[in-house]
Structure 1
Amino acid sequence: MDGHSVVGAGTVPPSASHSPISPVFRRGSIKRKRSTGGLDSSPGSGIGDEDTPGGEPEKKRQPGVKRACNECRQQKLRCDVVQEPFQSCSRCNRLKLECKIESNFKRIGKRSKHAEMEKEIERLRRNISQAKAQGYVMDEDEDLQSQLQSPVANSAYSHTRNPSLMGSDEAVTSLLTLKRGGSYSMAATHYAYELEQVRLTEQDVHGLFHEFFAYYHPFLPFLNPEQSPDLYYQQHALLFWSIVAIASRRYQAKPNVLQELSSGPLNRLLWNTVGDVPNSYFVIKALCLLCTWPLPTSTSTADPTHILGGVMMKAATGIGLHRPNHTQDFSRVSVQLNKDQLHDRVTTWAVCNIVAQSIGTGYGQPASTLYDWTLAIRPGEDGPFTLSPELEARLRVERFCDKVSKEMYSNASDPRGVAGDEHRAMLMRVYRREYQELQASILSQNLSPVVNVHLKAAAVHLRLAGFFDSSTTPGYMDDLMGLWRAVLAFLDLLLEKNNQHILVYATNYLQQMLVAAGFALLKLMRSFFAKTIDFERGRRLFHETIQAIRATSILDNDLQWRLAELMVQMWNGARLENGHHDEDDDAFRIDDSLQLKVRCRHSMSLVYDSIWRWREEYQAQGRASSTTHLDSTLMPPQQNIAQGLINANGGLTPTANHGLNPGPNSMIGIGYNSDANYDFFDPQHWMLDGLLDFNYNGLHHIETM
């Protein structure tokens, strides 16, 4: 028989004894002997570890040795335990461990074991800190196991006492018995949910979740109201705490939650989650919420919403939300989604685009949207790709806003991206017709006022392009009149008495469009255009807008509050300088005074341009009026709009004395009837921080009413 046949028969040829591949054959022979020998052995037991040239074990198993002890099996180590008569193995004797053999013993993974133990230790630490704060006395002499009943000592892990598996000594010794007045008693309040120093009971959480789904969820209905708070917490802590933070904006039963969360804990949780490269489907839902209702800030330079919007979209495409039928292409494992799961992913992807578009429109930046096949309109189709009527209408409105932004403000031939006058005039005619068709289609469905408000906001977004026209542009006065009517329609609907809940719980986007509408009113009424409109109606509506912006403020000195103060100063300055338009002046001249200097922020260029003009016309000349009065003839008899917005929790108090650590130049506490004068702008805390550099020495002379 030749050499090949010998190898095929399982015998190693002489030349193979020096071959580097010879151990392969030896290991294979060991496996075959183990599988056919019928021996019950374990790793490290010393059975069958060496072979003789004939293929038989060099050593035979010692009598009485059957298997390794529990401790050695747990560590996958060699064990020399003797069962009959029983003798502990040398490792257990050396480490003073309990050496025993159990037939039903199963190994426990170190990582999961450590994680659970550390979680329990951290929970007990928090309980101790909480008890200390409530005046309990710690006693280190009493038995931890009998007092705290720690699962660390009384769980299935009690088979070992190896300190390396018990956690750090510091963690163990920190679990102290809590005593008060000589007798042990746990803290009276049980906090079910904690984030750093923020602690909530189950009752608090259920109240906050009810608040969220009753008043905020209708703006963006894509979560499940029937799902329990605990399940949201299990899905992801960021999603849970985002819901809590949003619900706490107007929650009177526990008014300090938002301030506690926004002071640092939620931001740290957010950025730690983002820094870990989020690939969780539920993190994307949390980002949708936080981009829709951002944490309060006193300056736009500290507002991360635009950045988070980009993270949200990139994370969504990273896990394949835009291709929900092919999720496995973005995963290391095969993913099979049922109909409900597929529909939920399609809905979340639609919400991502709605939120991303509102961010782009509200901040005057290019939107990171992706309207692809998944979000295509499918009339008459009923399946997982079909959205609810509310979300479908919202998506259509945002698609329209996307068209306006891309066509009006994405001209590659212009350094600022603005389309030319003739092209823009043509686009305006096209989009006016498209908007009328969209409006007729949506209004025929009798959807909620939330959808109608966003529809009116889209008209304002379109018509604000009129400020980019020159006085020689064809249809110039028609465009200005269209803008005037669009602003009136938006404000009339938003400020309508039946829609006050929309104003109280408004999203960041609606607040931004409210500010833009206010600036549009102010700019039109202080120009030549004032002669062609009902000035008195505009004057009254502007004052109502100021009160509405104040009402949307959730903390004193936040951005909405400061913008309202700025607009009051601009109104007073314009009225003091120009006065009412001279009715006897018959000369009606159309000029270019309505054109914008800031032209790179899409339709929101008006807001930034108005702030710059305020600086140039008033602050730089030292003639700023910081009085925050409105005309007394326009004030309601006893209360303003903010005081009249009563919600289900008993009232809205936007001027509460808490907030964002205001400096000496803030306007906190200054009401309509205050006689005090303050320098409003603080160059360290304004929306254009890095650009404004005011000389306060020139502001000693303050004009008053």
Structure 2
Amino acid sequence: MSPSQSESDLSAFEGNGNSKRGSIRESGSSRKKFACVECRQQKSKCDAHERAPEPCTKCAKKDVPCILKRDFRRTYKRARNEAIEKRFKELTRTLTNLSSEDILKKIEQEQKDLLSGQNFTKEKLKIKKLSTTQSNVSSSVPSWDIEEITNGDADATEDNKVENEQCSISDQQLVCSPKSLGEVYMSSDDIAELFQEFATKYHPFLPVVDISRGAESIYSLSPCLFWVILLIGLRRKSGAIDLMTKLSSLVKSILAEITISPIIRYTPSENDEPVLNVASVYSVQAFLLYTFWPPLTSSLSADTSWNTIGTAMFQAIRVGLNCAEFSKEYESANSELISEQVRTWVCCNVVSQIIASSFGFPAYVSFDHAVIIATAENQDKNERHRVPLPIKQMAQIAHFENQVISTMNSNPSNELGMVGGEQKQPLLHVLNQQLSQLEMNLEENNLDSMRKFLLLVAKVHLLTYYFTDTFPKHKKESTDVRLMSLSEIASNFETKRGLVRVFNAAIDLLGHSTKMWQTDPAIIKYFPGVFVLNIWQSACIISKLVHSSLSAVLDIDRGKKAYQDAVSLTFNASVLKHDMAYRSSAIMKSIWSMFANMHGDWKRDKVCQVDKFANDFNLGISIKSRMSVSVFFDCLYILREKCGMAKIRREAQQLEDEEDYDEEDENNSEEQRAAQRRTLSRIRHPEESARKIIKTTPLDPNPINAANTSSGSSLASPNSQPADVLSLNGILNKSSPRNIPMALEEPNALTNNPSLQEEDQQSLVPSLFGLPERSIDPSPGHNPQLALPEHWDNWESDSVWRDVDILMNEFAFNPTV
């Protein structure tokens, strides 16, 4: 450093400059002494003002230039290095088609932008954080917490960085050439819009896809994954119902071909020719997304989640994801691909356990060494195959759910595998302690609202096992606690204490869901299907206990509010009228009304107040074959049973009315009497009645007739022509109408379909307890006439019986077990 430079720089610091760390004010002087650039960057003490014009001690020791600069701002090297690394990966994918001169120019410009310290100062990073947060308020995308960097928390910084990378996407990554699949054509603008919709609204729930690759790159690696992403992005697009229906059929055909006739690629790359039926790590990701957001159906029996997650697990093993880290087959694979495979294998186990626990089935899981090590809390930050923080937390929760199932259903001498009564309560205490420790660990590591939802679901699933300790009490016969032994009384007390805890846990889950909705009114529209099912199941627990012999010790008002919120949440989660979310909201109203009537009858049957305290009611369950969600199916079974009995009574009364009417009108003609019978009786033509029941589920798959081979007819649905049957060859050979853009904003698209308008569905909140309708997020387009039909308040109505009968009969379980 020259003397003239030092003197000029030192003189420039005279005046009203701000005092910085490392500066020294001389006693009795107004001159400020500043540290050099290097010392200020390292936050170390500087003696440049003492040694001038010689370099300071630290710069002289490091043999670096000692520069004094007034407007210097410290750069955050971690953020700069991360940006350089990320940009380098992008450049390697985009520079392949450029000439050498263009590459050199582009690298030179990138170098100037990335290495400029002014782009990574504290102030600019805070501005970036603020703008990112504001732009993502409506999309609930986790933001990059810059304060973690400022405080020097390396672990939290790494986790937040990964989460941010999983959710952020640039305009360059949205660039994609037009694509077509069969008769579906997507322009570049359509693809960018849907890809952005997926990245900001759906991806945070399950960040398994590396969206930083960009749309074009994902298509090159797996057309199947590409089209699944676009299909999910269409779920909430205004006016895209018809397009979503067409694309859904095409995607089903691709997934079927991958399942039955796959082309295996262990190490796929962008240089490979895009093939629809290729099975690889990316097709497994497609199945995972398809499982979380399955096709819209009207009944639980038609939900494909259980089938597709099983296919995903088997396919993952087939392509070797369970041994990606140590198998010799992957010696030539790059680190990035192995990280993709490890992350996907972990997500396979996570989604499989979530689906299994929510549907009451055994899980396709393999919490092997690779999964446990990848999700370990003390995972080395420098390890080459890292798992993002959200997936790591989801894996820990899923592993706990698996431990609950394997612990509480591990008795080979029991027909249902359930542990004995003497072991059940001690095991529940141990598992609850483990859950508390898990909750503490997760809360210390920036647990977001989506992962918090899964943690609360796991707590509800654990505590519902207290229901299996008691006998079913929805009949009038009750067990008198005054006749129990001391040990039985103690066990009964522990059971009831556990039921109070599950009541509060269910309220906590619904309260957290409502808070998520109030914070971001749009988030409920993008909930995975299994999340909506979890809300419904928790609401059933609340309804059952509010109308039980424990009601005197429960916070009834809090339970009512949570239940009303659950009705509103499921209703607003509906995509189309008559889908499962829409129907669940209606059935919930019937369940509450039914249990209220049953509870009222029980209270009237008791002679005195002592009898009410001495006898239990509605605390047990008959169905115990569905593990942690047996309570949910038991509530549906009771509703179906009660509705069936009411139906029989109505039919008997109708027959009596017909006989009386015939006696009074003997003079009427035979034709008139026949017409009157058809008007009064609802079971005159049972076959036609059955067809009407099928028509109440318009979103479920149509039956496919087994055509007579001698007639030469092809495989076809009763409601479709043979030409509509899809095959992979047909998809590949069909011409694409490239001149027809995707009509996302068709004005009358929603008017001509049975779905609710988006703005109406967001604002509607069905009333459960006879209160006026209210709205968490009022909308100018609110239409009060779109509320649920009033007949759902009458749980004895034919509509309720038909709906629940279909739902129960078609769900492939024996309700008598």
Alpha-carbon spacing, 1:346–1:675, altered in 2? closer, same or farther (3 Å): closer
1:163-208 CA distance string (max 9 Å, x none): xxxxxxxxxxxxxxxxxxxxxxxxxxx9922233333222111111
- Which residue in 2 is equivalent to 1:271? 256
Answer whether contact 1:456 1:490 (CA < 8 A) is retained.
yes
Residue 565 (structure 1) aligned with residue 586 (structure 2): yes
- Aligned to 2:185, what secondary structure does the other structure show? strand
Q: Aligned partners of 1:601 and 1:654: how far apart in 2?
A: 38
Residue 399 (structure 1) aligned with residue 394 (structure 2): no
1:565-616 CA distance string (max 9 Å, x none): 1121122233345449689945313426321111111111112111111111
1:69-100 CA distance string (max 9 Å, x none): xxxxxxxxxxxxxxxxxxxxxxxxxxxxxxxx
Q: Aligned partners of 1:209 and 1:418: how far apart in 2?
A: 46
Shift of 1:380: 4.2
Answer whether contact 2:586 2:788 (CA < 8 A) is retained.
no
Answer whether contact 1:324 1:342 (CA < 8 A) is retained.
yes
Shift of 1:512: 1.7
Q: Aligned partners of 2:782 and 2:456: how far apart in 1?
A: 26
Residue 589 (structure 1) aligned with residue 614 (structure 2): yes
- Which residue in 2 is equivalent to 1:239? 225
Residue 365 (structure 1) aligned with residue 351 (structure 2): no
- Which residue in 2 is equivalent to 1:485? 504
1:216 to 199, 202, 226: 202
Shift of 1:673: 10
2:531 to 481, 504, 510: 510
- Which residue in 1 is equivalent to 2:422? 422
- Aligned to 1:226, what secondary structure does the other structure show? helix
Q: Aligned partners of 1:322 and 1:606: how far apart in 2?
A: 35
- Aligned to 1:337, what secondary structure does the other structure show? coil
1:613 to 617, 638, 644: 638
Q: Aligned partners of 2:557 and 2:532: how far apart in 1?
A: 24
Q: Aligned partners of 1:356 and 1:651: how far apart in 2?
A: 39
1:527 to 545, 548, 552: 548
Residue 686 (structure 1) aligned with residue 806 (structure 2): yes
- Which residue in 1 is equivalent to 2:336? 340
Q: Aligned partners of 2:635 and 2:805: how far apart in 1?
A: 18
Alpha-carbon spacing, 1:410–1:394, altered in 2? closer, same or farther (3 Å): same
Alpha-carbon spacing, 1:595–1:673, altered in 2? closer, same or farther (3 Å): closer
Alpha-carbon spacing, 1:548–1:269, altered in 2? closer, same or farther (3 Å): same
- Aligned to 1:384, what secondary structure does the other structure show? coil
Report which stretch shifted further, 565-574 or 487-496.
565-574
Shift of 1:687: 2.5
Alpha-carbon spacing, 1:622–1:671, altered in 2? closer, same or farther (3 Å): closer
- Which residue in 2 is equivalent to 1:76? none
Alpha-carbon spacing, 1:620–1:199, altered in 2? closer, same or farther (3 Å): farther
- Aligned to 1:367, what secondary structure does the other structure show? coil
1:68-87 residue pairs with structure 2 within 5 A? Answer: none
Q: Aligned partners of 2:623 and 2:464: how far apart in 1?
A: 13
Structure 1 residue runs without a partner (length 5+): 1-189, 657-667, 693-705
Q: Aligned partners of 1:413 and 1:683: how far apart in 2?
A: 37
Sequence identity percentage: 22
- Aligned to 1:622, what secondary structure does the other structure show? helix
1:550 to 566, 571, 583: 571
- Aligned to 1:376, what secondary structure does the other structure show? helix
- Aligned to 2:799, what secondary structure does the other structure show? coil
Give the residue type in structure 2 aligned to 1:481: V
1:281-320 residue pairs with structure 2 within 5 A? Answer: 281-320=281-320
Alignment root-mean-square deviation, CA: 3.4
Larger helix share, 1 or 2 = 2
Q: Aligned partners of 1:380 and 1:396: how far apart in 2?
A: 13
- Aligned to 1:194, what secondary structure does the other structure show? strand
- Aligned to 2:180, what secondary structure does the other structure show? strand
- Aligned to 2:211, what secondary structure does the other structure show? coil
Give the residue type in structure 2 aligned to 1:276: S
TM-score by length of 2: 0.54
Residue 540 (structure 1) aligned with residue 547 (structure 2): no
Alpha-carbon spacing, 1:652–1:464, altered in 2? closer, same or farther (3 Å): farther
Give the residue type in structure 2 aligned to 1:608: F
Report which stretch shifted further, 438-447 or 394-403.
438-447
Shift of 1:633: 4.8
Give the residue type in structure 2 aligned to 1:530: S
Shift of 1:230: 2.3
Give the residue type in structure 2 aligned to 1:542: Y
Structure 2 residue runs without a partner (length 5+): 1-175, 263-277, 472-487, 651-764, 813-817
Shift of 1:426: 1.2
Alpha-carbon spacing, 1:573–1:592, altered in 2? closer, same or farther (3 Å): closer
Q: Aligned partners of 1:603 and 1:243: how far apart in 2?
A: 32
Answer whether contact 2:300 2:811 (CA < 8 A) is retained.
no
Q: Aligned partners of 2:785 and 2:425: how far apart in 1?
A: 44
Q: Aligned partners of 1:203 and 1:290: how far apart in 2?
A: 23
1:349 to 345, 359, 363: 345
Alpha-carbon spacing, 1:620–1:198, altered in 2? closer, same or farther (3 Å): farther
- Which structure would you say has the larger Rg? 1
Give the residue type in structure 1 aligned to 2:626: R
Q: Aligned partners of 2:785 and 2:627: how far apart in 1?
A: 32
Q: Aligned partners of 2:628 and 2:584: how far apart in 1?
A: 18
Give the residue type in structure 2 aligned to 1:213: A
- Aligned to 2:575, what secondary structure does the other structure show? coil
Answer whether contact 2:537 2:632 (CA < 8 A) is retained.
yes
How many residues are paired up?
480
Shift of 1:284: 0.4
1:661-700 residue pairs with structure 2 within 5 A? Answer: 670=789, 679-682=799-802, 686-690=806-810
Q: Aligned partners of 2:349 and 2:529: how far apart in 1?
A: 16
1:602-660 CA distance string (max 9 Å, x none): 111112111111111232332899xx974455444xx445x65x8xxx9999999xxxx
Q: Aligned partners of 1:197 and 1:270: how far apart in 2?
A: 18
1:226-266 CA distance string (max 9 Å, x none): 2222222222222111111211121237454333333x222
Answer whether contact 1:211 1:251 (CA < 8 A) is retained.
no
Alpha-carbon spacing, 1:655–1:499, altered in 2? closer, same or farther (3 Å): farther
Q: Aligned partners of 2:197 and 2:343: how far apart in 1?
A: 22
Answer whether contact 2:453 2:512 (CA < 8 A) is retained.
yes
Q: Aligned partners of 2:785 and 2:418: how far apart in 1?
A: 40
- Aligned to 2:571, what secondary structure does the other structure show? helix
Q: Aligned partners of 2:784 and 2:210: how far apart in 1?
A: 30
Q: Aligned partners of 2:500 and 2:292: how far apart in 1?
A: 31
Bigger RCO of structures 1 and 2 (CA < 8 A, at least 6 apart)? 2
Q: Aligned partners of 2:782 and 2:241: how far apart in 1?
A: 11
- Which residue in 1 is equivalent to 2:245? 259
Answer whether contact 1:343 1:385 (CA < 8 A) is retained.
yes
Q: Aligned partners of 1:654 and 1:304: how far apart in 2?
A: 33
Q: Aligned partners of 2:205 and 2:783: how far apart in 1?
A: 22
- Aligned to 1:313, what secondary structure does the other structure show? helix
1:344-399 CA distance string (max 9 Å, x none): 21111111111111111111111111111112244141213432221111110110
Give the residue type in structure 2 aligned to 1:381: D
Q: Aligned partners of 1:228 and 1:629: how far apart in 2?
A: 41
Residue 230 (structure 1) aligned with residue 216 (structure 2): yes
Q: Aligned partners of 1:519 and 1:671: how far apart in 2?
A: 20
